[in-house]
């Protein structure tokens, strides 16, 4: 996966979230809507949102499962929701020793923020 000689300038963000123009710019195509809806749906659950926020606000934008499990649900449920966030491209994970560490994908977050930009014409 990593070859520093070939990929020194690649922004992982750009490949992670090619989608989409601001929602206010023009009607979405079916394909754009599929891609963007997947990201919104991942954040459309209160437990997932708390887990995501816990990772995103943790020191260094990274957190161990051991840091963020205090959301009132069982450990398997936490794992299930973290997997959903990973599948949607919002989190990445890396095992280091005993623990798995989760990190926010800032580019995806930024792409979702762009979707919600309010175009002057729409205000």
Question: How near is the Cβ of 97 to its own copies at its closest, in Å?
Answer: 24
- What DSSP string describes 7-68? -TT--HHHHH------TTTSPPPHHHHHHHHHHHHHTSSHHHHHHHHHHHTSGGGEEEHHHH
Q: From residue 54 to residue 93, what is the string marking binding to its own copies with x (rule CB under 8 A)?
A: x-xx-x-x------x--xx---------------------
Instruction: Specify the 3-state DSSP secondary structure of 92.
Output: strand
Q: Which residues make up the interface to its own copies (CB under 8 A)?
A: 23-28, 30, 33-34, 36-38, 40-50, 52-54, 56-57, 59, 61, 68, 71-72, 104, 106, 109-110, 112-113, 116-119, 121-123
């Amino acid at each position: 996966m990593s070859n520093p000689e070939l990929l020194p300038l690649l922004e992982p963000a750009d490949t992670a979230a090619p989608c989409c123009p601001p929602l206010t710019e023009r009607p979405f195509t079916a394909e754009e809507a599929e891609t963007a809806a997947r990201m919104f749906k991942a954040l459309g659950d209160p437990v997932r949102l708390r887990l995501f926020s816990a990772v995103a606000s943790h020191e260094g934008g990274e957190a161990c499962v051991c840091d963020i499990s205090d959301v009132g649900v069982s450990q398997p449920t936490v794992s299930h929701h973290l997997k959903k966030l990973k599948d949607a491209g919002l989190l990445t994970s890396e095992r280091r020793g005993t623990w798995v560490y989760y990190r926010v994908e800032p580019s995806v977050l930024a792409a979702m923020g762009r979707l919600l930009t309010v175009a002057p014409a729409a205000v």
